[in-house]
Amino acid sequence: MTRILHTQQERTDLPLTVMPCVVDDMIEPFMQHFDMLRDVTRLRMYTDTTLDPQEIIRRCEGADAVIVIGVHITDELYEALTSHVKLFVFGGTGVASYIDLPRAERDGVGVCNVRHYGDAAVAEFAVALMMELSRHVGELNTQVRNGDWHGLFGTELNNKTLGILGFGGIGQTVARIAHGFGMNVRVWNSHVHADSLDGIELVDSMADLVAGSDIVSVHLPLTDETRGIITDDVLSKLRSGTMFINTARAEVIAHGALERRLMRGDILAGLDVFEEEPLPADSPLRTMPGVILTPHVAWRADGAYASMTEQIMRALVSFFEGGDYNRVV
């Protein structure tokens, strides 16, 4: 049953903020920051995960601001909501894949995101995918529970070469963890200068980085410049046995390119993000051997939640007080 949580419900003189849906384990972290909104905005928070567009429109009726958790603001939603909504606050960093930012800018609709909230969480998850592909802990657990003591051969990460595509907060955190494993780290990112890297090889060509790596981990933001930047040609450089990890955005890979490369059957992959989410039942990825699939959960961890929820509340307060905290548009 859906609960509706209210703050300052009686303060009809205050602007209204609506959270039309939320992940269940985020409710308590949000509640811990409710006091930040005192005398600034009312909040109406729905405690389920509905993604039905018409229901979201109904729930957001009269809202001045909307907190967006996992919802794509389609053209239909945008047109319905922006008749009254002045601000969207997203519980994530890469908002370009969730809302038409140029349109929002033209229309004067504010958009905020959260920043660096999940650097540790996503980096650790990327490494967890590497560990699962190399040491098969989940599969071994299933074996033992099924009475099988056969075991599986593993691959060490020590002395392997990790190629990182994108070197923002998450990529840098992955590099630090990788150094702890004794891995050799190479980075491709046109915005990073060699003198800012400690013990890391900077590679000018993405194709060269991919060709020379035992593991490739993607940590690029989704922008107009990065959309489709990982092409069929780049992926063709992956050597047999290479692990390909993506906890960033699926759209930074050219449409269909990863599936085409995986169909050759000679590389492994750990994927937490997909062009269409939830992953369709008929997706060829579901039946490919050597591919680990997770439901876009790399960011879902206690520390990330604490930072995300606080930043969302700060963005709301800032907006209603005339500031621009975490404003993207």
d(CA 89, CA 9): 20
Mapping DSSP to helix (H, G, I), strand (E, B) and coil, where does residue 256 land? coil
- 271-307 confidence digits (pLDDT tens): 999 999 899 999 999 999 999 999 999 999 999 999 9
Q: Supply the Cα-derived Rg of the chain in whole angstroms.
A: 21
d(CA 76, CA 81): 9
Name the band, by pLDDT with cuts 50, 70 and 90, for residue 34: very high
d(CA 198, CA 271): 28
Residue among 249, 251, 261, 314 flagged as catalytic = 249
> How are beta strands 42-46 and 4-7 bridged, if at all?
antiparallel
- 191 classed as catalytic: no
Res 159 pLDDT > 70? yes
Q: Are 82 and 234 in contact (CB under 8 A)?
A: no
Q: Are 286 and 271 in contact (CB under 8 A)?
A: no
Q: What is the pLDDT of residue 224?
A: 87
- Name the DSSP letter for residue 162: E
- 45-90 confidence digits (pLDDT tens): 999 998 899 999 999 999 999 999 989 999 999 999 999 999 999 9
Q: Are 98 and 73 in contact (CB under 8 A)?
A: yes
Mapping DSSP to helix (H, G, I), strand (E, B) and coil, where does residue 165 land? strand
Backbone dihedral angles phi then psi of residue 191, each to the nearest 5 degrees: -100, 5
- 169-194 confidence digits (pLDDT tens): 999 999 999 999 999 999 998 667 65
Q: What is the pLDDT of residue 1?
A: 77
Res 195 pLDDT > 60? no
- The CA distances from residue 107 to 2, 68, 101, in Å, are 33, 19, 10
Residue range 324-328: average pLDDT? 97
What dihedral do alpha carbons 126, 131, 137, 140 form, nearest 10°? 120
Angle of helix 169-180 versus helix 119-135 axis, rounded to 10: 40
d(CA 80, CA 74): 10
Structure-block tokens of residue 202: 């900077």
Structure-block tokens of residue 160: 């392997």
Percentage of the chain exceeding pLDDT 90? 93
Mapping DSSP to helix (H, G, I), strand (E, B) and coil, where does residue 211 land? helix
| Stretch (H or E) spanning 163 | strand 161-165
> How are beta strands 42-46 and 243-246 bridged, if at all?
unpaired
Name the band, by pLDDT with cuts 50, 70 and 90, for residue 128: very high
- 7-19 confidence digits (pLDDT tens): 999 999 999 999 9
Residue among 135, 296, 300, 327 flagged as catalytic = 296
Over the range 17-48, which residues count as b (16 or more CB within 10 Å of their CB) and which as e? Answer: bbbbbbbeebbebbeebbebbeebbbbbbbbe
Peptide bond into 280 cis (omega under 30): no
The per-residue pLDDT of the chain, averaged, comes to: 96
- 277 classed as catalytic: yes
Query: What letter represents residue 128's amino acid?
Result: A
Residue given tokens 């062009």 in the structure block: 275
d(CA 132, CA 154): 10
Q: Full-prediction pTM beyond 0.95?
A: no
- 198-219 confidence digits (pLDDT tens): 789 999 999 999 999 999 999 9
Residue range 221-228: average pLDDT? 92
Structure-block tokens of residue 7: 């703050």
Domains identified in the chain and CATH numbers:
4-117+302-320 (3.40.50.720), 119-293 (3.40.50.720)
